[in-house]
Every structure is written in structure tokens, then in C-alpha cells.
Amino acid sequence: MSQPATSDSSSAVAGQATAEQLAALALSLAPGLGPRLLTLLLEHFGDCQTILQQSAASLRQISGIGPQIAAALTNPSLSQQAATLWSDCLNSSVRLYFPGSGQYPSRLHEICDRPQVLYARGTLLPTDALAIAVVGSRRCSVYGVRQAERFSAQLARAGFTVVSGLARGIDTAAHRAALQAGGRTLAVLPGGVDTIYPPENQSLADEITQQGALISEMPLNQQILPGLFPQRNRIISGMSLGVLLIEASARSGALYTARHAHEQGREVFAVPGPIDSLASAGCHQLIRDGAVLVRHIDDILEALGPLPSPVHITPDTAVHSPRELTLNAIESQVLSHISPQPTPVDELLRLLPAESSQVLATLTVLEVRRLIRRLPGNFVVRYS
């Protein structure tokens, strides 16, 4: 994915655009067309090309499509604008990702109102499927910054990609800590990927492109508008296995991200603060409503459980549960030889190069961590 071009017709940063890709770009340029309305249009007409082929009268049959949006979608200049945008992305090294490809973020395929095009400055990797969103208040306390740095660094060292929104406060602390820990981080922006907000985070944004990506569903040069912040929050949660709220007041915008996470079937985690802290009132309410109270990273790993599908972190190594990320070399080697089908312990002792006593001790560790279980007849099986 580090190459500037791809043969995948559903994801590209260079070369000839397909008609469906140009249609998706055109729709991203249509004023007033948000993700909810676009989802309704796709459910009714099937694909982006067909939407653009409709008359204004046909489009207005869809609930929520008024005369202004219908006029925008039938504007003949929209397709030319899309072709120009494709060229602008190519010239500015902005990558484009479309649903239906292996390169489009796998977690986003699972949400109902996924973006039909993602603009990215930097690179997305398959391992970004192992992502945790870390969000919180812009006006955070010293305690909040310290917890954001602690958890983000631990998550990055464990192998997770840290996702956040590049905002002041908790978001900034989360991105910086992940980078300093040598990990990957993704920043989902409310405007175009060439519109950095807040402006003082320009140097941080540049660093993120070297160890992750800046991501947006908005076209280039899209300026910041208040309504775009809650809209982008569904992407932050949608790209992640779970959302960790570090510090959030009762009216914090970060609670929108938690709400999206709940609706998308993602785990919601919250770090408690001082019991009388207004800055943590939103976190405390989430915990009362059922969010997982988080004291350390093990609470997150425990709550996530097995993944819906394995994530390959190398061509030969697949992670079935986030808890596997904390295993040492011998533990990972032993676990890699155990499948969801019963495996004889004698076979493991024969196949693995380690001493038998070490293999048996490692099996006990894996069983205690609930990654495997023993079966009658001296068999072991991986939890699935």
C-alpha cells in the first residue's frame, strides 16, 4: 500500500478513475448531501453512478431530498468538478479509498453510513483494523492529559493504532503519545485533509502522515464548519474496535463519538476521574450507563474478546484476539500452532523447537489468559 498507484479498481491514488469512483467524488462535492441522505439514495438507487443519472423529480421522491439538493445533484458541472478533484488529489499525493476494496478500512465496511470515498494523506495499513479511538475534552485537566498519554502510549506499544480527531486537548495528547511510543495513529478531520484545525497542530499533522494518516470524507479545501465535527465522529468510532473516553464533561462533543460507537456495536470505555470533577462528569455517566470502567490497558483487552475475523499483522501471523498482542515470542509461537479445532498436546511438543517443560508452562499461561482451553484426552483448543 506504500506504492503511489494500485491496480485495485475500488481504491486508487493514481491512474484512470472508474466511472463509479468519479461519481463517488462528485457526490462528495454536492452541497447539503450528508451521510444519512447519501445512504438513503444508495439504498434506493444502488450505486453512485445511478444517483447522478436521476432527474430532479426522481431524486425528490426520496425523503429529505429537497429542491436545493436535487438541483445540486443534477448540476452538469458536478462531474467535471469530480474529474478536476481526482487530478488535484493525484498532484498533491492524496490517496483515495472506496468501499468494496481490500484497502478501504475494514471496520468502516461494517457501519451503515460509511463514507463512499475517503481522502487520506499518509497511508492506511491492514493492521489499522486493530485500532482504538482515544477521545475526550478540548478543555482538559493535567490529569486528563496524563491519562491520555499513558493509555495511548500503552496501546501503541501493544500494537494498536490510535485513532483520534486532532482537536486540542485529549486528542492532541493521544496522537503525540502514540507517535512518541513508535506506534501508528490516524487523525480523522472534519474538513479536508489539507485544512488542519487547530492550526497550531500543523507540525503534529505532518508527523502523523509519517506514522499513519490524516483522513476525511470531505473533499480537498473543505473548510471547517461546526456541523462537520459530530459527522466525522462516526468515522472515528467506525474505524475502531472500541472508543476510550479519557475525560469528558456532561456536554463534551466526545460523547457523540461514544454514542456512535454504541450504535455501531463498538465497545465503549471510560476512564473515571475524581468523583466531584465536572470535567469527568460525562465519563461517569457513561460508566453508569454500562461503559467499561478502565483502570489500565488490561481492562480494554479483556472487554474486547475475540475479533470477528483475524487480523494479519505479518503475512504469517494473524491476531484472533487483542490480548494476543501482549504475548512474548514463545507464547505467540505456541499459540500459532493451536487452532479452533482440538490439537493434541503431544503434537505440539513434537512440532515446537522449545523444551517440553517450556511448552507445557506456556500452555498453562495461555490457559490462564483464556486464549486456549484444555479438553479431555490431552487436547487443547483456541478460543474462537
Domain with residue 45: its CATH number is 1.10.150
In a domain, 241, yes or no: yes
Query: How confident is residue 313, by pLDDT bands cut at 50, 70 and 90?
Result: confident
Rg (CA), the chain: 23
Handedness of CA 11, 14, 19, 21 (dihedral sign): positive
Q: What is the pLDDT of residues 2-38, one digit of tens each?
A: 333 333 444 445 568 899 999 999 999 999 999 999 9
**313 assigned to some structural domain:** no
51 within domain boundaries: yes
pLDDT for 6: 35
Domain co-membership, 89 together with 201: no
Instruction: Give the closest residue to 371 by CA, choosing from 319, 326, 335.
Output: 335
pLDDT in tens, 255-309: 999 999 999 999 999 999 999 999 999 999 999 999 999 999 999 998 998 887 8
The CATH number of the domain holding residue 216 is 3.40.50.450
Domain boundaries, position 165: 126-304
Residues 165 and 212 in one domain: yes
Residues 143 and 212 in one domain: yes
d(CA 373, CA 163): 33
Burial class (CB in 10 A: 0-12, 13-18, 19+), 212: buried
pLDDT higher at 9 or 210: 210
Is the same domain home to 140 and 245? Answer: yes
- Evaluate if pTM is beyond 0.95: no
Residue 248 lies in a domain: yes
| Higher pLDDT among residues 262 and 221, named by residue | 262
Q: Give the pLDDT score at 15.
A: 64
Q: What is the pLDDT of residue 315?
A: 73
Instruction: Give a yes or no: residue 112 inside a domain.
Output: no
Mean pLDDT confidence for 243-247: 97
Question: Residue range 87-112: average pLDDT?
Answer: 91
Q: Are residues 255 and 181 located together in one domain of the fold? A: yes
Give the model confidence (pLDDT) of 131-189 as tens digits.
Answer: 999 999 999 999 999 999 999 999 999 999 999 999 999 999 999 999 999 999 999 99
Same domain, 274 and 364: no
Does residue 259 sit in the same domain as residue 342? no
Residues 154 and 294 in one domain: yes
Domain termination residue (choose one: 104, 135, 168): 104
227 and 295 part of one domain = yes
- Does residue 277 sit within a domain? yes
Query: From the CB of residue 110, how many other CB atoms can be counted at a distance below 10 Å?
Result: 13
Condensed to tens digits (0 to 9), the pLDDT of residues 321-345 reads 888 888 888 998 899 899 889 999 9
Q: Which of 63, 40, 203, 205 is nearest to 116 (CA)?
A: 40
Query: What pLDDT shows up at residue 280?
Result: 96
Looking at residue 332, what is its pLDDT?
Answer: 87
Residue type at position 8: D
Angle, CA of 65, 69 and 72, to the nearest 5° = 150
- Is 48's pLDDT higher than 60? yes
The whole-number pLDDT of residue 141 equals: 95
> Does 53 map to a domain?
yes
Residue 369 belongs to domain with CATH number: 1.10.10.10
Residue 67 in any domain: the answer is yes
Residues 281 and 359 in one domain: no
What is the predicted pLDDT for the residue at 3?
Answer: 33
- How large is the average pLDDT for residues 65-79? 94
Give residue 70's pLDDT band: very low, low, confident or very high (50, 70, 90).
Answer: very high
Query: Which segments of the chain does DSSP mark as H helices, in order?
Result: 19-29, 35-45, 48-52, 56-59, 67-73, 77-91, 142-158, 170-180, 202-210, 228-238, 254-263, 281-288, 297-304, 329-336, 345-351, 356-368
Note whether 148 and 276 are same-domain residues. yes
Count: domains in the chain:
3
Tell me: do 138 and 287 sit in the same domain: yes
